[in-house]
Amino acid sequence: MMTDGSASDRPVIDAQKVGLTFQTADGPVHALKDVNLRVLKGDFVSFIGPSGCGKTTFLRAVAALEHPTEGRLLVNGMTPEEARKRRAYGYVFQAAGLYPWRTIAGNIRLPLEIMGFSRPEQDRRVKDVLQLVELEGFGKKYPWQLSGGMQQRASIARALAFDADILLMDEPFGALDEIVRDRLNEALLKLWARTGKTIGFVTHSIPEAVYLSTRIVVMSPRPGRITDVIESPLPRERPLDIRDSAEFIAIAHRVRDGLRAGHSYDD
Amino acid sequence: MRSVGPVLAVIAVIVALWYAAAVGMNAAWVRDQAARAGTEVSFLQIVPQTMAQERPVLPAPHQVAKGLWDGVTGQAITSKRSLVYHGWITLSATLLGFGIGTGLGILLAVGIIHNRAMDQSVMPWAIASQTIPILAIAPMIIVVMNSIGVSGLLPKAVISAYLSFFPVVVGMVTGLRSPDAMQLDLLRTYNAGRGQTFWKLRLPASMPYLFASLKVGIAASLVGAIVGELPTGAVAGLGARLLQGSYYGQTIQIWAALFAAAFVAAALVGIVGAVQAAVLKRMGMAR
Ligand SMILES: Nc1ncnc2c1ncn2[C@@H]1O[C@H](COP(=O)(O)OP(=O)(O)O)[C@@H](O)[C@H]1O
Ligand SMILES: [Mg+2]
């Protein structure tokens, strides 16, 4: 995977001593403190930790939606703003957030229109990503005509449409039921294998993190920080039943221990 | 159409109460007449007479209906006695005022959401403007505009616009601000500019709010146009009809004009509603 020379050696996301403090009416909130992390091209990195530990804040900082108050954060070797201008990433929020007045195809077209792709190019890309998320034939439907899981798939397609090589996902399947979530996880792994994208994925679920990731970043709150980074020994090819394997269970244990060590469940 | 039954029932009750009120209120005059002639009248004689007076205190429903019918169909529509003629005069001022008010309201709303200074300065004035009774403002507008040589349609339209811009401002500000933080963040991840955010997100998101405001606005416009016809001794328009009716005690004429105005208002609101349904359907927002 990492054989194509210098570009791969440079981390896609490079955080050095990143801190981010929100000034609020009740005083400063240290959402992130001393966060060091390097994400390489093609990595699937999950962020796991109790709510309030800064997972969302970190992802938003990578997306230039928040600005670190300390340290240095680089995306593709650039500042997050520059990276955004170069369409470095697609962002998937917890809610699909599709525009009700646009069809599914129209929603996927949205970033393409904003970025000024030609009409034929838009059509081609919409068709491609619809196929990628297995929503062929749903382009002309309106969002309310689709199930929650299908809507979330459409929102992933929207994030993929403009060929960003980083996909940032903030609890994208958090609102979906277990069965749908399993299927989407499987689909996401396939999509990752086919596209070779770098994925940053926030989750609350230990099995989800272990099943999906090449690396699992365990975080703890007050102040938000990284307590453990676990390299997964699992192969990239992962059938769903890998979750019953001893290796899988061992990693899950380590994640759970990491979460405990961060005495993160004191609330 | 499932609500036709209850609506008819309510109308029947109102008509019945109205007849009762007409009998009660007009009976005095019948008794006076009888007393003057030195005759006695029984209740059963009074009742029909209360419903056939030329200038009743309260005309009976069928008298109003007849007045309305004669006014609409009984005259050439260019006649000064035609309600169609007067209705059109008022309607044209209403539509012009509605157009101006809506345009102004949308412009103000766009300014308010994009400019902090406007946000803080315009809204209080807009609210203050609506606390001044329109009856106090209307004559001033007409007199001032007359003095600079503008009369007829435009002053009335201005009063119309004065009443209709406010709901549009309030509705559009709410509508343009209705997209939540996540939707705005999504556009930021695409590096979208303010203009793109406006056209692709804020404006379409505001459509349901706009139409809700337009329904209020068009009714307010009609009120404005009618009020604009009152203080000037205007000779044409539903407002003029109302005023003349009250000068000469032509109660039937007043009521007929009132109902004409109500029907025009209902039709206008109905048209806005139909446009709303069509637009939202095309946008895929109607289910
Ligand atoms: N815009 C903000 N203003 C103030 N505090 C914030 C803001 N966003 C997040 N926080 C605080 O920062 C901390 C981390 O939040 P977040 O990154 O959302 O956590 P997580 O996604 O892990 O649940 C929390 O204490 C949260 O209350
Ligand atoms: Mg979060």
Task: Please identify, by atom number, the ligand 1 atom nearest to the C-alpha of residue A59.
Answer: 17
Ligand nearest to the CA of A52: 1
Q: Is A129 helix (H, G, I), strand (E, B) or coil?
A: helix
| Ligand 1 center–CA A86 separation, angstroms | 27
Q: What are the mean pLDDT values of chain B's consecutive 10-residue runs (287 residues total)?
A: 84 92 88 85 83 86 89 83 90 95 95 90 87 87 87 89 94 95 93 93 94 94 90 79 86 90 93 93 78
The b/e string for B193-203 (b: 16+ C-beta within 10 A; e otherwise) is eeebbbebbbb
Residue B22's region, left for phi above 0, alpha for psi from -120 to 50, else beta, is alpha
Residue A230 near residue A48, CB atoms below 8 Å: no
| Distance separating alpha carbons of residues A18 and A35, to the nearest angstrom | 5
Q: Residue A228 is inside which H or E element, if any?
A: strand A225-231
Q: Choose the residue to mutate in A29, A65, A94 for probing ligand 1, maximizing ligand atoms within 8 Å of C-beta.
A: A29
Give me the interface pTM, i.e. the ipTM. 0.87
Residue A29 CB less than 6 A away from ligand 1 = yes
- Tell me how close the Cα of A267 comes to any Cα of chain B, in angstroms: 27
| Distance separating alpha carbons of residues B255 and B57, to the nearest angstrom | 11
- Tell me how close the Cα of A150 comes to any Cα of chain B, in angstroms: 18
Q: What is the pLDDT of residue A265?
A: 47
| Distance separating alpha carbons of residues B186 and A170, to the nearest angstrom | 12
- Angle between helix B43-50 and helix B4-37 axes, rounded to 10 deg: 110
| Among protein residues, the one whose CA lies closest to atom 12 of ligand 1 | A31
Q: What is the pLDDT of residue B220?
A: 92
Residue A50 CB less than 6 A away from ligand 1 = no
Task: Please identify, by atom number, the ligand 1 atom nearest to the C-alpha of residue A202.
Answer: 21
| Distance separating alpha carbons of residues A67 and A58, to the nearest angstrom | 9
Q: What is the pLDDT of residue A107?
A: 96
Report chain A residues whose CB lies below 8 A from the CB of B190.
110-111, 114-115, 162
| Among protein residues, the one whose CA lies closest to atom 11 of ligand 1 | A31
Six token digits for residue B83: 């309600």
- Alpha-carbon distances of A130 from A151, A211, A254, A264, rounded to whole Å: 12, 24, 37, 40
| Distance separating alpha carbons of residues B284 and A261, to the nearest angstrom | 51
- The structure's pTM equals 0.85
Residue A44 phi, psi dihedral angles, 5° rounding = -115, 100
Q: How would you class A29 by CB atoms within 10 Å of its CB: exposed for 0-12, middle for 13-18, buried for 19 or more?
A: middle
Q: How many A-B residue pairs are in contact by the CB < 8 A criterion?
A: 51
% residues pLDDT > 70 (chain A): 94
- A118-165 pLDDT, tens digit per residue, is 999 999 999 999 988 889 999 999 999 999 889 999 999 999 898 888
DSSP state of A143: G
The b/e string for A160-187 (b: 16+ C-beta within 10 A; e otherwise) is bbbebbbbbbbbbbeebeeebbbbbbeb
Residue A89's region, left for phi above 0, alpha for psi from -120 to 50, else beta, is beta
Domains of chain A with CATH codes: 9-88+166-266 (3.40.50.300), 98-163 (no CATH)
- Alpha-carbon distances of A199 from A12, A171, A175, A242, B195, rounded to whole Å: 10, 12, 20, 21, 31
- A192-231 pLDDT, tens digit per residue, is 988 889 999 999 899 999 999 999 999 998 888 999 899 9
Report chain B residues whose CB lies below 8 A from the CB of A97.
182-183, 186
Q: Choose the residue to mutate in A33, A57, A66, A220 for probing ligand 1, maximizing ligand atoms within 8 Å of C-beta.
A: A57
Q: What is the pLDDT of residue B9?
A: 92
| Ligand 1 center–CA A263 separation, angstroms | 18
Task: Please identify, by atom number, the ligand 1 atom nearest to the C-alpha of residue A170.
Answer: 21
- A64-100 pLDDT, tens digit per residue, is 999 999 999 999 989 999 999 988 899 999 899 999 9
Interchain CB distance below 8 Å, B204 and A103: no
